[in-house]
Every structure is written in C-alpha cells, then in structure tokens.
Amino acid sequence: MVGLLIVTFIIGYSLIAFEHVIKINKSAIALLTGVLCWVFYIFLSADTQLVNEQLAEHFVGVAEILFFLLGAMTIVELIDAHDGFEVITSRINQTDKRKLLWIIGFITFFLSAVLDNLTTTIVMITLLRKLVHKQEDRLIFAGIIVIAANAGGAFTPIGDVTTTMLWIGGQISTGSIMMKLFLPSLVCLIVPILALSITFKGPLNPLDKKEIKTEKNIPQKHKSLLFFAGILALISVPVFKTFTHLPPFMGMLIALSILWIMTEIMYGKKEEKYKQSLSVASALRRIDTSSILFFLGILICIAALEASGILSNLAKWLTVTVANDSVVVISLGLLSSVIDNVPLVAAAQGMFDLSQYPMDHFFWEFLAYCAGTGGSILIIGSAAGVAAMGMEKINFFWYLKKISFIALLGYLAGAFVYILESVFVS
C-alpha cells in the first residue's frame, strides 16, 4: 500500500510539474491524484470504516483552508473591483526595478506577519498587477512575494499555519517566537533580494507602469473606504481567532459578510447595471475557482499520505538516522518544499512531547522557522506559492530555475543566523 501511494503521488506531482508540456490543467491532475490516493488507500486497507473516518477528519481541516481562501480571494477581488489598490499604487512612484524589489519585499514581509502568508500573497499579487505590466518582470516580483510572505509569516504565531499549530499546541510562546525568529526571517528575505539585485536592475519601461483606467466612475471616497475596510477586515481575522478561539475561516467569513452588507447598503439605490460589477456576488464569480480546486486536490492528497502513516514514518526515520536536531529540522524544512509543511509539523508534534522538548525549546522554534520558510524553495511548497502559481500562472520549472536557488540561500542563511543566536544569546 505504501509503495502504491508513494508512486501515485510522485506521478501526480510530476504531471503537475510538467503541466506546460502535457497541456492538462494542474487542478485536474491534483484532483485526480488526491482522489486516487484515497481510493488505493481504502482498497488496500482492512478497515474501511476507519479510512472513512480519517477522510472525514482530514476534510474538516481541508474545508477550513478552502473557505479561508475563498473568503480572502473574494475580499481582495472586491477591493480590486472598486480600484481600491489605487490608494497604494498611486503612491508608489518608484520605477527602478531594484528599489521596487526592496519596497515590495518589505511591504509583503511585514504585512504577512500581521495577516498571514496566504492572504498577503493574494493581496500583493493583485497589487503587483497594478504596478508592473511586463509579465517577465512581474514573475520575478511574484517570486520575491512568495519568499517574503513565508519569511514574514514564520516569526509570528498568526503569520503561518504551522507556527499557529505550534503556538496552539503549547510548543512556542508569542514573545519568544517573535524575538528569536525576527532576525533569521529577515535574513531569509534580504539574501534573495540581494542576490536578485545583481542582475535584476534598470528602469521599468514606462509601458510597464499600468495606467489605472476605469469607466465605473467610482468616487474616490468609495475607493478608499473599500480599501481600508477590506484590509481592516483581513487584519481582524487573527484578532477574531485570538478572542473567540474559533478557526480562522470563521473570522474570514464574518469579515466577508460585513463587507457584503456594507456594499449592499452603499449601492442599494443604484442602478442594477452599476451595482452588479461592484457587488460581492459579482466578485465571487470572478475569483479563480481553478486555484481553489487545485488546493483541494493537493490537500486531500497530502491527507492520504498522512492518514496512511507515510509522513510520520518518514519523520521518524529522519530522527533515527540523523541524531543532530539541527540537521533533522533543516531536513524537514527542505522536505516541506516538496510536501506540505502542515502534516510534517503535525507529525513532529506527535513524535515529541513537551517533557522531551519544553515550550520555547530550540527544536520547536527552529522547526517554526524551517517549516515556515522552507516551502519557498519550490513554488508548490507553500500555500503562498500555490496561490501565486495559480494567480500568475507561474511555471514550475521557471520558478525552479529563477527563484529556487536564491530561496535556498535565504533559507540556509536564516537557519545559520538562528543557530548562532541560540549559541550566543541566552
């Protein structure tokens, strides 16, 4: 059974990577791979009831992520429909590629720490489309957004789902993780930007700076209102989770509902033709449903590997084979670029308890960094990367050629900084 599941995953993964060659949408391959993994798992299992229970249990977590993504993408689309991002783009007049790279990187880094890496990537990719028209240049910026979003999300409990898991599990505390991981995460971003700055330079062509034209005649106050209300709604999601202890997707849904009611009130007396393009219902029709289905396929595929015990056995093998905690954690981080970091962290939480590694131990903090930033090495290694891949149609091998190496350099540099911190800072 294990061999069949692994082979199915590898074949599906390869077909996704070669999407541009086989000319089949990656979402279709991801869905097929995910379902086949569960079909093979239940056929080869002696207890079909247990498999169904496992599927139901995992699908709850999958649904949470999908509804979170659906809400975030709709809010961003609603802001964009009102030309809300003009509030920012009109103030970014930088035409030098190198300087703009730093600006985009740092905005993404700090925004991700406040929101989360997935939502931030969606927001920043949408904003990027307003700043850079040439696709070749925009893909480079998108690569930095993925790296920056994952790096920024790693050093706060609400910035990345794996850090949140460790925070909820009692393995890390808010103050310690922010203090210990801020510098390594920052280095993880700075190193790739410095590496890119060597070759990615020069002015943006005037044609690259999109002129925002609209025939909607949206008042400036409505643009600003929807922009700030939308960003506030997104920021309120982690606050909602902290106070209510409900899953993040619940906060996203209530944020969406408030914006929906607000726009209905704003345009209640307007003509239907004017109202239609600015409504939440219209935004829901425009979001990239294909990307959501791609997420669904990937997540249920990973769930099958976790339910069958493949991921936990792999983590145990690493621990037994490699005796050094630093090497184990760095290896798990590298592995998270291929396989989703959520089940890897979950497996680590199940393997080690707080009596062995107490709260804020080196192992847990380093795991938060490596699991959060290691996914940047490959485009499908993180939620942020998958979102960017879907929104900008980033080719797997283009990312591997242009971004993966500098992302790896940043990952290793940040890891080195954290190890130095643990040695010299008590």
DSSP per-residue codes, 125-160: HHHHHHH---HHHHHHHHHHHHHHHHHHHHTSTTTS
- Reduced to 3 states (helix: H, G, I; strand: E, B; else coil), residue 210 is coil
Query: Can you list the positions of beta strands (E) in 203-326?
Result: none
Identify any residues that bridge with 96 across adjacent strands, giving them in sequence order: 203
Say how far apart CA 315 and CA 343 lie, in whole Å. Answer: 10
* Residue in the structure block whose two tokens are 């393009």: 277
Tokens of 240: 């909602």
Q: 303-331 in b/e burial notation, b at 16+ Cβ within 10 A?
A: bbbbbbebbbebbeebbeeeeebbebbbb
Query: Tens-digit pLDDT profile for the chain (426 aa)?
Result: 778 988 998 898 888 777 767 888 888 998 999 999 999 999 988 889 999 999 998 888 888 878 887 888 888 888 888 888 777 777 777 778 889 999 999 999 998 887 778 878 888 888 888 788 888 889 999 999 999 999 999 998 877 878 877 887 788 888 888 999 999 999 999 999 999 998 888 887 655 545 545 456 777 888 888 888 988 888 888 788 778 888 888 988 999 999 999 988 888 777 666 677 788 888 888 887 887 888 788 888 888 888 888 877 776 776 778 778 888 889 888 988 877 676 677 777 767 778 778 988 899 999 999 999 998 998 878 878 888 887 888 888 899 999 999 999 999 999 999 999 988 875
